[in-house]
Structure 1
Amino acid sequence: MNFPTLGQLAQRVGGEVQGLTSLPIHGVAALHKAGANDITFAADEKHLRLVSTSAAGACLLPRNYRGDKTAGITTNLVFVDDPQDACLTLAREFRPQQPPQTVGLSAAAHIAPTARIGQNTQIYPGVFIDEHVEIGDGCVLYPGVFVGHHSRIGNHCTLYPHVVLYPDVHVGNRVILHASAVLGADGFGYRFRNGRFDKIPQLGWVEVEDDCEIGASTTIDRGMLGPTIIGEGTKLDNLVMIGHNCELGKHNAFASQVGLAGSVTTGDYVRCAGQVGVADHVHLGRGCTLGAKAGIHKSIPDGDTQIGYPARPEQEQLKIVMATARLPEMRKTLRDLESRVEEIDSLIEQLTTQGSSS
């Protein structure tokens, strides 16, 4: 097999080589796992320190690192504008993604006669498409996908195995739904009357705007009356739960196990780390960031960073955490002070008694 040289790869990403341009490169690997014929990358000074100890044959670095910052590094280096982007570009060459198999509209799928399917869409065996469904051009629906009646899917969407769209789910263009995602299930709505929970009909729908990606086993409930909305470009990790009537802004990013209760709204560019929990009817302001396991009970201002339970502004919470860590020491100090106060009180009492006697 003919492998590309380091010089050839550098040309493809607009890089400048410092080292052996003729080195054959066999693949792309992480900095700590790369071998003598692998290329890797380091995007910041923290990872730059690891380059000298890496076995990598070559490393992509920011262009402005050339000079003093890389003095003494013997690894072959390639200086580029964006090391991570360049590394991903090269990774695609070594590991090209296989296009989906061309199956057309499989005879082993159920496609209702009133459904409308766009051009070049692949419907795999075992897919169920209900009445009055609309699916755009260039979509791929893998085995086990269910699409309920009156749902709409835009162009160039991918639905991986066992994705479920309940009726009246509207999906935009270029949306990716990973395996076992469920969109449009009933919201968790009940009224407690006469000693029992009576179900509130969930008559709304779900809207997923363009360029969203929904992780495996993530659930998005339909609204009670209106829509639950996932804004354009939003990315939801695996096992995220979005309650009924939530409205997410554009380009939000939620890590795994984030849970939003009903009617939560968010601005654009909101980020939630893993296991964040948000109470109902709370608003998360534009550009705010919530740390892992944060418990949100009230609205968050634009641009704020909050952590902990209950969530507080980051610096305030860190002070509380630091103080909490000192509690055993402070408890001992308090006991010592109490003992000293008791001694002083006893001494004062003795002096008072002696003064009265004289």
Structure 2
Amino acid sequence: MMITVDQLARQLSGEVIGNREREITNAKALQKAASDDVTFVADDQNLRKLSKCLAGVVLVDAERLAAAQQLMALNDTTFIVVADPLTAFVEAIKFFRPQRARLSIGISPHAHVDPSATIGSNTNIHPGAVVGPDVVIGCDCDVHSGVVIGAGSQIGNQTTIHPHAVLYPDITIGSRVLIHANAVIGADGFGYRFEQGRFVKIPQLGTVRIDDDVEVGACTTIDRGMVGPTIIGEGTKLDNLVMIAHNCELGKHNAFVSQVGLAGSVTTGDYVRCAGQVGIADHLHLGTGCTLAAKAGVHKNVPDGQTHVGTPAGPIDEQFKVMMTIQKAPEMRTQLRQLERQVHELTKQLNELRDQLSDSLIETTAA
């Protein structure tokens, strides 16, 4: 598929600097782009890489245009100035890689849908899906092959559940939710008491509530509450392989990267961000707008707006001081040993001097 710079700029409401008739055949990342590709620069980090870029067309904002032109002065590069290069690039990708049209297959004869279930208009139930008793599914949904939806669950409108995801009974899912393959929602929380030398299971009688516009990554698990719901707030995005334990309550628009794990009854404010492999102990609260860096081990509440790093996690400024100290530890150890040897030598000399003075005093007294 081909488009001219002028045509693309019109679609993106951008201003062309350079050859308007240049032809573009694809949209690619900065490092991969060739002379017939369009790419983008959205931050200073990418701007610094621009000198090695071979793209024929670059989407850039007005703030970085002059620097971009200077870095690519030797190239025959055309620029399209837009308000938001990343958003514009996403729109360009859609042109070159149009999404597959949504099929309207209705309820496949190869799916199992309990007669008591209610299925909204224009919803697709694909072959091999299982919809249990008293399930309610809204309009314009897609339930793909191998999905199992347990009895009594309710799903809003325009929600997509990808293959082999499992919803245990009595789960509530909002509208425009995207659940990726092999996610498991509503399994029992990990609750036991230890009695007479053995673990005794504590019944997990709660449920899970996922609000509107949430995305749940592949192989992510969200356990049902022991009593009451585990809650995933509106607009929250969970990456693949995220673990949400029983009775956690996540606020709105959180973002958790892969392998984040929350122990039971963790609560969060809104706009909380957790990088990869963050671990959070039970019954803690993560304040609104806080950020946890990769592999942070959180053992106490995190106040609003703070960034914590390390294990055990702490405020970023304090932890960086600790990290710098640790890096200097070998050098400090060497210096300490040198000082110990010097102190030992000085102590030895002082003792010898004291003995000499003592002998001199004895001789003087005797005389």
Q: Distance in 1 between matches of 2:45 and 2:159?
A: 38
Instruction: Report the AA paired with residue 259 of structure 1.
Output: G
Alignment of 1:21-60 (within 5 A): 21-60=20-59
Q: Deviations over 1:57-109 (max 9, x none)?
A: 11001122334663363321111100010111111011111123221101111
Q: Distance in 2 between matches of 1:350 and 1:109?
A: 96
State yes or no: 1:165 paired with 2:167. yes
Alignment of 1:203-282 (within 5 A): 203-282=205-284
1:294–1:309 contact (8 Å) kept in structure 2: yes
Q: Distance in 2 between matches of 1:272 and 1:245?
A: 19
1:51–1:59 contact (8 Å) kept in structure 2: no
Alignment of 1:169-180 (within 5 A): 169-180=171-182
For 1:10, the equivalent position in structure 2 comes to 9
For 2:307, the equivalent position in structure 1 comes to 305
For 1:134, the equivalent position in structure 2 comes to 136
Which of 187, 190, 210 is matched with 1:188 structurally? Answer: 190
Unaligned runs of 5+ in 1: none
1:100–1:140 contact (8 Å) kept in structure 2: no
Instruction: Report the AA paired with residue 206 of structure 1.
Output: V
Residue-pair matches, total: 357
State yes or no: 1:65 paired with 2:67. no
Deviation at 1:351, TM superposition (A): 1.1
For 2:349, the equivalent position in structure 1 comes to 347
Q: Deviations over 1:85-136 (max 9, x none)?
A: 0111111011111123221101111111110000000000101000000000
Instruction: Report the AA paired with residue 215 of structure 1.
Output: G
State yes or no: 1:102 paired with 2:100. no
The TM-score with structure 1 as length reference comes to: 0.98
Deviation at 1:44, TM superposition (A): 1.8
1:158–1:177 contact (8 Å) kept in structure 2: yes
The TM-score with structure 2 as length reference comes to: 0.95
Q: Distance in 2 between matches of 1:190 and 1:68?
A: 61
Q: Distance in 2 between matches of 1:72 and 1:150?
A: 60
SS in 1 for 2:249: coil
2:129–2:144 contact (8 Å) kept in structure 1: yes
For 2:89, the equivalent position in structure 1 comes to 87
Instruction: Report the AA paired with residue 229 of structure 1.
Output: I
Unaligned runs of 5+ in 2: 361-367
SS in 2 for 1:99: coil
Deviation at 1:326, TM superposition (A): 1.0
Q: Distance in 1 between matches of 2:288 and 2:65?
A: 37
Q: Distance in 2 between matches of 1:332 and 1:90?
A: 58
2:140–2:158 contact (8 Å) kept in structure 1: yes
Identify the range of structure 1 (44-53 vs 175-184) with the bigger mean alpha-carbon deviation.
44-53
Q: Distance in 2 between matches of 1:276 and 1:50?
A: 30
SS in 1 for 2:295: coil
Q: Distance in 1 between matches of 2:280 and 2:156?
A: 30
For 2:120, the equivalent position in structure 1 comes to 118
Instruction: Report the AA paired with residue 10 of structure 2.
Output: Q
1:103–1:123 contact (8 Å) kept in structure 2: yes
Instruction: Report the AA paired with residue 269 of structure 2.
Output: G
For 1:201, the equivalent position in structure 2 comes to 203
Q: Distance in 2 between matches of 1:228 and 1:271?
A: 19
1:235–1:251 contact (8 Å) kept in structure 2: yes
Identify the range of structure 1 (127-136 vs 66-75) with the bigger mean alpha-carbon deviation.
66-75
Deviation at 1:51, TM superposition (A): 2.2
Q: Distance in 1 between matches of 2:146 and 2:45?
A: 45
For 1:316, the equivalent position in structure 2 comes to 318
For 2:18, the equivalent position in structure 1 comes to 19
Deviation at 1:12, TM superposition (A): 1.0
Deviation at 1:4, TM superposition (A): 1.3
Instruction: Report the AA paired with residue 131 of structure 1.
Output: P
1:169–1:206 contact (8 Å) kept in structure 2: yes
Instruction: Report the AA paired with residue 151 of structure 1.
Output: S
Instruction: Report the AA paired with residue 187 of structure 2.
Output: A
1:206–1:221 contact (8 Å) kept in structure 2: yes
Q: Distance in 1 between matches of 2:234 and 2:63?
A: 34
Q: Distance in 2 between matches of 1:355 and 1:334?
A: 31
* Structure with greater Cα Rg: 2
Deviation at 1:353, TM superposition (A): 0.7
Q: Distance in 2 between matches of 1:311 and 1:18?
A: 48
2:50–2:71 contact (8 Å) kept in structure 1: no
